[in-house]
Amino acid sequence: MASGFFALLDDIAALMDDMALATKVATRKTAGILGDDLAVNAEKATGFLAERELPILWAITKGSLINKLIIVPIALLLNGFFPAAITFILLLGGCYLAYEGAEKIIEYFLHKAHKNNQQVSVESREQKPAVDAEKAKVKSAITTDFILSIEIVIIALGTVAAEDTLIQIATVSAVAFLATVGVYGLVALIVRMDDAGYKLIKRSNSNGWLASLGRGLVGALPVVIRILNVVGTLALLLVAGGIFVHNIEYLHHLFPALPDWVKELGVGLVVGLVLAGMMALFKAFRGGAKTSVS
C-alpha cells in the first residue's frame, strides 16, 4: 500500500517536472510576442490623467484575463477537433493588427492636415466626456490584447502539441497567466515612473542623488512614451506580418534573401494600408449614400 502511494507521488513529481519544462520552453518561444505585447499595451495604457492610470490599467488587465479564459479552452478544443480553424482565426487577427498599425501611421502623417482642415470648437470638446475617451481606449486595448493573446496561446500550444492533453492544458494556462501578470506588471511600472520620481524628489528634499534619480525618472517618462508609441506601432505591423508570413505558403517563400523582420514589417504594412484604404472607401461610400438619401 505504501509503495503504491510513493509510486503515485513519483508520477506526480514527474508530471510536474514535465509541465515545468514545457512551460519554460513555451515561455521562451513566446518571448518575442510578449515583448511586442508589452510595447503595444504600454502605449495604449498611457495618455490618461495620473489618478486614472492604475484604475484604467486594472480594467485592461481584467479584460486581458477574461480574454485568456475565453481563448485557452477554445484553442485547446480547436486544436483537438478542428485545427484548420486556428489558422483562419490567426489571419483574421493579423488583419486587425495590420489595420490598426497602418491607421496609426496614417494618422501621424495626416495629423497636421487634419488639424488645419478641422475646426474643433471648445464646446464640441466638452460634449465628449473624458470617461467616454477612457472607455474607448480601454475597449481598443482589450481588443488588441485579444488578438495578441491568440498569438501567444497558439505559439505556446504549438510547443507542446506532441505532449499529453494534461500537459498541454497546464502549459498553455500557465503561459497565458504569466503573460498577463508579467506584461501588465511591467506596464504599471512604466506608467508610474513619474510618480516614483516625484516621491524620490520629495523624500530627498530636492537634494542628493535620489533627487537626481527622481528628476531623471520624471524627465524620462515622456521620452519613454514617445518611444513606446513608435515601438508599439511597429510591433503591431511585425506581429501581423509574422502571422501572414508564417501561415501563407506563398508569402513564406517570397523574397528569401530578405531578413525575416523586414519581410514581416513590409507585409504587415502593405496589408494594413490596403485595409485602411478599403475602410476609407467604405466610409466615403456610406457617407455619400447617407447624403444622397437625406
Q: 204-245, pLDDT tens digit by residue?
A: 776 777 788 888 888 887 788 778 778 878 888 888 898 899
Residue 263 has a CB neighbour count (10 Å cut-off) of 20
- Give a yes or no: residue 91 inside a domain: yes
User: Would you state the pLDDT for residue 275?
Assistant: 95
The residue segments making up the domain with residue 95 are 30-288
CB count in 10 Å sphere of residue 32: 16
Instruction: Report d(CA 262, CA 116) in Å as an integer.
Output: 34
DSSP 20: H
Q: DSSP readout, 152-169?
A: HHHHHHHHTTTS-HHHHH
* Assigned domain for 20 exists: no
pLDDT for 70 equals 92
* Confidence at residue 125, expressed as pLDDT on a 0 to 100 scale: 46
Contacts of 97 (CB under 8 A, 6+ apart): 144, 147, 148, 236, 237, 239, 240, 243, 268
pLDDT of residue 147: 82
Q: Is residue 15 part of a domain?
A: no
d(CA 266, CA 272): 10
C-alpha–C-alpha distance, residues 184 and 257, integer Å:
37
Residue 6 lies in a domain: no
145 contacts 43 by C-beta, under 8 angstroms: no
Supply the pLDDT for residue 14: 47
Does residue 139 form part of some domain? Answer: yes
pLDDT of 163 reads: 73
In a domain, 16, yes or no: no
Domain presence at residue 11:
no
Q: What is the number of domains present in the chain?
A: 1
Q: What is the pLDDT of residue 274?
A: 95
> Which of the residues in the chain have pLDDT under 70?
1-50, 111-131, 206, 288-294
Nearest to 27 by CA among 164, 219, 157, 209: 157
pLDDT, residue 257, reads: 86
Residue 233 belongs to a domain: yes
Cell 506601432 sits on residue? 233
